């Protein structure tokens, strides 16, 4: 219990502007001990436009963390940085550290493919590969050296089941993925992400292009999946965050204004900006 409280305490207390080696070591060891993603004083600018400012947060494993904030505040940029998807953006400068399992995502010898195996990203709109339903899942496994058909079959079934779509596709695995509905395609993409055995799944408004039924289906999947994975979701829908978040991070103009357990944030927000955002004064 003590470690649980110290962990919660970390979530509240890591936002600071001073980048000391002690802070960096704390972030590194937190990520190692708690299997969390520890972000320490992350600063990001594009062409001298400061987009993320002194972001420090300990994102817990096996919980759902929702990142909320008004349009343009930097939510997607933060999520992309966790997956190193904006490395190649022209004019980008990134400072600070992000640790997962004690390993710095920006470390000198870190390979991007290695990071993407640990942290998978689901986009706003489903992006199935132009191949069969089966191959969409098997593709990543084949790249990782799994060739045996029987093993691939098991992996495909397991992950389609985990993503709650097996029953709907089990008799048409050879059909092109493009024939699936948008909601089914999003669950297929989730299955594809799960198939490489990540520790964390990131979703950038992963349900915003779906109808309410498909959206709820995915929300319920996230609730199940958090037993095994850390889940980080950017959402515009406060109701969705209310339904599924364990932890909430509120960002405004590139800075974390407040973060904490969902109950605390939604019921007793401390900061004026958080109160205004949650009550719809601005969106």
Ligand X SMILES: Nc1ncnc2c1ncn2[C@@H]1O[C@H](COP(=O)(O)OP(=O)(O)OP(=O)(O)O)[C@@H](O)[C@H]1O
Stretch that binds Mg ion, among 37-45, 76-84, 154-162, 169-177 (CB under 5 A): 76-84
Strands across the sheet containing 49-59? 49-59, 37-46, 92-100, 103-104
| Minimum distance, C-beta of residue 52 to Mg ion, in the bound complex (Å) | 13
The option from ligand X, Mg ion, none interacting with 73 (CB < 5 to 8 A, set by class) reads ligand X
**Binding at 71: pick from ligand X, Mg ion, none (beta carbon under 5-8 Å per type):** ligand X
Q: How far apart are CA 95 and CA 144, in angstroms?
A: 31
Q: What is the rounded CA–CA span in Å between residue 52 and residue 254?
A: 4
Residues 185 and 138: their CA atoms lie apart, in Å, by: 15
Tokens, residue 4:
């649980």
Q: Tell me the C-alpha to C-alpha distance, in Å, between residue 147 and each of 143, 155, 170.
A: 9, 11, 21
* Member of 36, 61, 65, 76 binding Mg ion (CB under 5 A): 76
Cβ nearer to ligand X, comparing 72 with 95: 72
Q: Report if residue 76 touches ligand X, rule: CB under 6 A.
A: yes
Nearer to ligand X by C-beta: 46 or 129?
46
Candidates 89, 110, 123, 129; binder of ligand X (CB under 6 A) is: 89
Please report whether residue 77 would count as binding ligand X according to CB under 6 A. Answer: yes
Residues between 47 and 66 with contacts to ligand X, criterion CB under 6 A? 51
Q: Using the rule CB under 5 A, is 54 a contact of Mg ion?
A: no
Rounded distance, CA 85 to CA 77, Å? 9
- Cα(177)–Cα(174) distance, rounded to whole angstroms? 9
- Residue 112 beta carbon to Mg ion: minimum distance, rounded to whole angstroms: 21
User: Considering the rule CB under 6 A, would residue 74 count as an interface residue with ligand X?
Assistant: yes
Q: Do 219 and 121 contact (CB within 8 A), yes or no? A: no
Footprint on this chain of Mg ion (rule: CB under 5 A): 76
> Which residues form the interface with ligand X (CB under 6 A)?
46, 51, 69, 71-77, 89
């Amino acid at each position: 219990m003590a470690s649980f409280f110290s962990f919660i305490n970390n979530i509240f207390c890591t936002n600071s502007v001073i980048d000391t080696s002690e802070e960096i070591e704390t972030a590194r060891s937190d990520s190692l001990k708690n299997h969390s993603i520890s972000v320490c004083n992350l600063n990001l600018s594009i062409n001298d436009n400061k987009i993320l400012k002194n972001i420090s947060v300990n994102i817990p494993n096996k919980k759902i963390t929702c990142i909320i904030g008004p349009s343009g505040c930097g939510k997607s940029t933060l999520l992309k940085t966790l997956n190193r998807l904006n490395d190649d953006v022209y004019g980008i400068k990134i400072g600070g550290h992000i640790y997962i399992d004690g390993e710095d995502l920006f470390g000198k010898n870190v390979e991007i493919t290695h990071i993407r195996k640990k942290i998978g990203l689901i986009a706003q709109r489903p992006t199935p590969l132009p191949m069969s339903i089966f191959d969409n899942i098997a593709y990543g496994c084949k790249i990782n050296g799994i060739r045996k058909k029987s093993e691939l079959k098991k992996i495909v079934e397991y992950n389609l089941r985990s993503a709650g779509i097996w029953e709907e596709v089990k008799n048409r695995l050879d059909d092109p993925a493009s024939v699936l509905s948008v909601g089914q395609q999003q669950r297929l993409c989730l299955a594809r992400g799960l198939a490489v055995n990540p520790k964390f799944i990131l979703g950038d408004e992963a349900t915003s292009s779906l109808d309410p039924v498909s959206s709820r289906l995915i929300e319920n999947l996230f609730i199940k999946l958090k037993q095994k994975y850390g889940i980080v979701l950017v959402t515009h829908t406060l109701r969705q965050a209310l339904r599924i978040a364990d932890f909430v991070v509120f960002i405004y103009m590139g800075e974390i204004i407040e973060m904490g357990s969902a109950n605390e944030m939604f019921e007793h927000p401390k900061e004026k900006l958080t109160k205004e955002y949650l009550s719809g004064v601005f969106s």
